Homo-oligomer: A and B are copies of this chain.
């Protein structure tokens, strides 16, 4: 599903893994036309797990829906020249390159010889060009040493690719900011965004580096308690688990009222000489507070808790597995307009999300599935570079370019198709 805010904008994407494809997807979901440059046979993430029985990667098809694919042999100079021409083709809406693959022939310095107002965004691991992934950045942020009751000796990695996601959305924003300026001034921009910098700047914005530097303090390892107020997970009578959070005073009052522990909490405040209207006093007494709430959760089933919490406006959530989420949470269903059903070749019909941004009163166009490799080679070369059928045929014959018949997941599926 895409919105129409960036209609006309054309972005060339040469990418792998999460951050760069997700940045391209974000632009695409707001209406930009994103053209992937793919290696014939697929790049290093084309077969990344999990795979559908057809061999198609659910990861790759998720990150690349709505894009077009041009399959090019980039090991050959003629293939590289085609890609360079696509990145720098004229027109005020062209000349935008998104990549996480640093290579001389696709460098900003080299491409501005062909188009001086190019906007390029290179996503890096580290800013010095060395490699880094979400995992190898995350370990350095200090978070694994305080996750899950862990320590520096027994750290706990997160599983959601938090830094990749943050990097992707920052990159989409930065590209759009540079395009905005180019429309005003005619000036291009060479943007670089290192995954490590995304993480370290966030630590600064959240006050965490300052806490260490100015106060000499480390954030404690709190298990599932939240920092600075009251919040924790609790088990229910029917062996479900819920997370509750009471950061604001109204969240706290709702929780106390819903669980009918007002008298006990008042007694605890008197005993400890604390005022739990202050979030920091709730935080300091978190273990005592949790002991007051535990029996209430243990006595009630989730089916009993949910309506009480809704009624009181408690800030809470249920721990789920992904299958449970997809099967039972209406927020991940067609009842939520950010989702739609899509039939991805090699995967079949399934629920997919568009942009999480809702624009009131505006419809989205139907989504388009992730391409097969080279599915749009001929049409893009014709449309963007004006190549004719004879020239396109010659490039196929020389194996400089390829169409979707060279997609390896098509080969995998062939026996089925024939039978």
Selected from B142, B198, B310, B360, the residue in CB contact (under 8 A) with A108 is B360
**B126 and A197 contacting across the interface, CB-CB below 8 Å:** no
Mark each residue of chain A from 352 to 379: 1 if its CB lies under 8 Å from any CB of chain B, else 0: 1111111111100000000000000000
Say whether, besides A160-B141, A190-B360, A347-B214, A155 and B209 are in contact (CB < 8 Å).
no
Say whether, besides A49-B227, A206-B18, A247-B17, A336 and B197 are in contact (CB < 8 Å).
yes
| Residue A399 at the chain B interface, CB threshold 8 Å | no
Mark each residue of chain A from 38 to 52: 1 if its CB lies under 8 Å from any CB of chain B, else 0: 000000100111101
Complex CA distance for A166 and B226, rounded to whole angstroms: 19
**B49 and A157 contacting across the interface, CB-CB below 8 Å:** no
Interface residue ranges of A62-80 to B (CB < 8 Å): 62-63
| Residue A398 at the chain B interface, CB threshold 8 Å | no
Residues in B whose Cβ lies below 8 Å from that of A158: 143, 147, 158-160, 162
**A140 and B319 contacting across the interface, CB-CB below 8 Å:** yes
Query: Separation in Å of the A298 CB from the closest CB of chain B?
Result: 14
**A147 and B156 contacting across the interface, CB-CB below 8 Å:** yes
Selected from B59, B143, B359, the residue in CB contact (under 8 A) with A206 is B59
**B127 and A177 contacting across the interface, CB-CB below 8 Å:** no
Residue tally, chain A, CB below 8 Å to B = 157
Query: Separation in Å of the A101 CB from the closest CB of chain B?
Result: 11
**A323 and B216 contacting across the interface, CB-CB below 8 Å:** yes
| Residue A280 at the chain B interface, CB threshold 8 Å | yes
Complex CA distance for A159 and B338, rounded to whole angstroms: 27
Q: Which of A146, A243, A318 has the most CB of B within 10 A?
A: A243
Mark each residue of chain A from 138 to 167: 1 if its CB lies under 8 Å from any CB of chain B, else 0: 111111111110101101111111100111
Mark each residue of chain A from 91 to 129: 1 if its CB lies under 8 Å from any CB of chain B, else 0: 000000000000000001000000000000000011100
**B319 and A139 contacting across the interface, CB-CB below 8 Å:** yes
Instruction: Kindly specify which of A265-273, A288-296, A324-332, A411-419 makes contact with the partner chain.
Output: A324-332
Q: Which of A47, A108, A211, A280 has the most CB of B within 10 A?
A: A211
Residues in B whose Cβ lies below 8 Å from that of A224: 144, 155-157
Complex CA distance for A365 and B193, rounded to whole angstroms: 19
Q: Which of A57, A231, A339, A360 has the most CB of B within 10 A?
A: A360
Query: Separation in Å of the A122 CB from the closest CB of chain B?
Result: 9
Say whether, besides A146-B159, A176-B173, A338-B197, A317 and B192 are in contact (CB < 8 Å).
no
**B63 and A127 contacting across the interface, CB-CB below 8 Å:** no
Residues in B whose Cβ lies below 8 Å from that of A191: 357-360
**B205 and A133 contacting across the interface, CB-CB below 8 Å:** no
Residues in B whose Cβ lies below 8 Å from that of A156: 147-148, 156, 224
Q: Which of A5, A47, A242 has the most CB of B within 10 A?
A: A5
**B17 and A239 contacting across the interface, CB-CB below 8 Å:** no
**A247 and B58 contacting across the interface, CB-CB below 8 Å:** no
**A336 and B127 contacting across the interface, CB-CB below 8 Å:** yes
Smallest CB gap from A177: residue in B: B5
| Residue A130 at the chain B interface, CB threshold 8 Å | yes
Query: Separation in Å of the A20 CB from the closest CB of chain B?
Result: 13
Complex CA distance for A249 and B241, rounded to whole angstroms: 40
| Residue A228 at the chain B interface, CB threshold 8 Å | yes
| Residue A322 at the chain B interface, CB threshold 8 Å | yes
| Residue A384 at the chain B interface, CB threshold 8 Å | no
| Residue A245 at the chain B interface, CB threshold 8 Å | yes
Complex CA distance for A339 and B245, rounded to whole angstroms: 33
**A205 and B25 contacting across the interface, CB-CB below 8 Å:** yes
| Residue A382 at the chain B interface, CB threshold 8 Å | no
Smallest CB gap from A279: residue in B: B48
- A-B residue pairs in contact (CB < 8 Å), sample of 22: A18-B206, A47-B279, A49-B227, A50-B217, A61-B207, A62-B205, A125-B315, A135-B226, A135-B317, A139-B242, A141-B325, A144-B319, A148-B148, A155-B224, A155-B241, A157-B243, A165-B165, A174-B357, A189-B362, A200-B353, A210-B351, A218-B321
